[in-house]
Amino acid sequence: MKARVHVRLKTGVHDPQGKAIRNALVGLGFSDLGEVRQGKLIELELGEDDPEAARDTVDAMCRRLLANTVVETYDIELEP
């Protein structure tokens, strides 16, 4: 089973990388931009076949390592 984890900063948390990306895009002529937020995508290949068990495992991975839950949120997508 494959899992994708999308990690993003929570609303209201300062995002200096997003600001730098926005500034670079404006410098390249893409001036019609609002706020830009940067996140990360983590793809995992799991040996688990049960979707519920896989979700629980990936959720534990996120809480323990992949996401800083103080300032980040995450979404988990599973595919067989």
Instruction: List the CATH number of the domain containing 63.
Output: 3.30.1280.10
Q: Please state, in angstroms and rounded to a whole number, the distance separating the CA atoms of residues 56 and 75.
A: 12
Structural domain that includes position 29: 2-79
In the chain, how many domains are there?
A: 1
| Greatest CA separation for the chain | 48
User: What is the token pair recorded at 43?
Assistant: 């793809």
Bridge partners (DSSP) listed for residue 14? none
Contact indicator for 44, 5 with CB cutoff of 8 Å: yes
Single pTM value for the model: 0.88
Question: Residue 39: its pLDDT value, please?
Answer: 97
Q: pLDDT by residue for the chain (80 residues), tens digit each?
A: 999 999 999 999 999 999 999 999 999 999 999 999 999 999 999 999 999 999 999 999 999 999 999 999 999 999 98
